[in-house]
Amino acid sequence: MSFVLGTSLLAVVTALACALPGAFVVLRKNSMLVEGVAHAVLPGIVVGYALTHDLNSPWLIIGAALAGLLVVLGNEWLIRTGLITGDAPQGLVFPALFAAGVIFITLDFSHVHLHTEVVLIGDLNLAAFHHLMVSGVSIGPRYLYVMLAVLAVNVAFIAVFYPKLKVTTFDNQFATVLGMRTGLLNTVFMFLVSVTIVTAFHAAGAILVISLIVVPAATAHLISHRLSVMLALTALFAILGAVGGFWIAYALNAATSASMAVFYGLVFIAVALIDRLATRVRRHRRSRVCQPAAGR
């Protein structure tokens, strides 16, 4: 498999793995909470490396995901106390965790290839550099199969718990009345989101991974409010943005992950403008239909 094809496939799989759970994140209005998780996993990565001394260890991913989960649990606890409201709890929890991670890196792990720039913006081309070889033939980047595993887990979780996720997303109180363990389901879901963010770090970084999670789902939400349709459109926009952003970066010799994020933004703006134009056209047609009736 060529490097260009392998990198483009990695971009698509990473985008899908992030975007599908992102549909529920957007509907639950937890987009800023995901940003907090994305920044807070940094100390988990550092602690995981301190214990394993292996940047590719699965324990590092689990440790980082648990650190991200601390933001969710800490946010919920602070809200329940009633001491502060709105998104202020996130502003208290995740900056402290992220700053602690930066301090750990600069003090104790400066000799390790774990720089804050890589954590923040990622490098898709670097992530696709090492290929998996079978009988001397490349079958794609190794990291591609890591992201495929994450995608498979996310799809399986959504498929199995789709009815419960749907109810807890649109009416969490009603789900509680039905006897659903909403707290446990939401915690497991956010843990999977944390795992997805951590595994996508190498390709997208802490900042750009937020666009992969939020923007395709937000774009789909402009078109449809039906969850099944929105999930399908989210996957479509994720693929479109990944392919379009990758080839723009390839043509301009620009940063791939950043180009994907910009392309996602452009697609969102285009869909929003088309949606607003279509709304105005419908209103104009209705007004023209109603005017003769009013005259009579």
pLDDT at 266 over 80: yes
Average pLDDT, the chain: 79
Say yes or no to pLDDT of 119 above 70. no
Q: Is residue 272 part of a domain?
A: no
Residue 121: per-residue pLDDT: 61
What's the pLDDT score for residue 115? 53
20 belongs to a structural domain: yes
Residue 141 lies in a domain: yes
| Residue 83 in this model has a pLDDT that exceeds 80 | no
Lowest mean pLDDT among 51-65, 180-194, 207-221, 227-241: 51-65
Most confident option among 51-55, 69-73, 104-108: 69-73
Indicate if the pLDDT at residue 96 is higher than 90.
Answer: no
Does the residue 235 lie in any domain? no
- The answer to which of 133-147, 240-254, 267-281 has the lowest mean pLDDT is 133-147
b/e burial code for range 133-144 (CB count within 10 A of at least 16 → b): eeeeeeebbbbb
Tokens of 254: 């620009």
In this predicted structure, what is the pLDDT of residue 113?
Answer: 53
Specify if 113 maps to a domain.
yes
Q: In this structure, what CATH number is given to the domain that contains residue 172?
A: 1.10.3470.10
The answer to the question of residue 291 being in a domain is: no
How would you label 52-91 residue by residue, b for 16+ Cβ within 10 Å and e otherwise?
eeeeeeeebbbbbbbbbbbbbebbbebbeeeeeeeeebbe
Does the pLDDT value for residue 157 go beyond 80? yes
Task: Give the tokens for residue 179.
Answer: 């006897």
Which pLDDT tens digit goes with each residue over 13-46? 999 999 999 999 898 887 777 777 777 777 777 7
Considering the domain boundaries, does residue 293 fall inside one?
A: no
Choose between 240 and 67: higher pLDDT.
240
Q: What's residue 255's pLDDT?
A: 76
- pLDDT number for residue 123: 67
Q: Which residue has the higher pLDDT, 162 or 86?
A: 162
Q: Which domain holds residue 99?
A: 3-214
Inform me whether the pLDDT recorded for 294 exceeds 60: no
Residue of 132, 137, 161 whose CA lies nearest to 148:
132
Contact call for residues 201 and 146 (beta carbons, < 8 A): no
Q: How confident is the model at residue 87 (pLDDT cuts 50, 70, 90)?
A: low
Q: What is the number of structural domains in the chain? A: 1
Residue 237 has pLDDT above 90, yes or no: yes
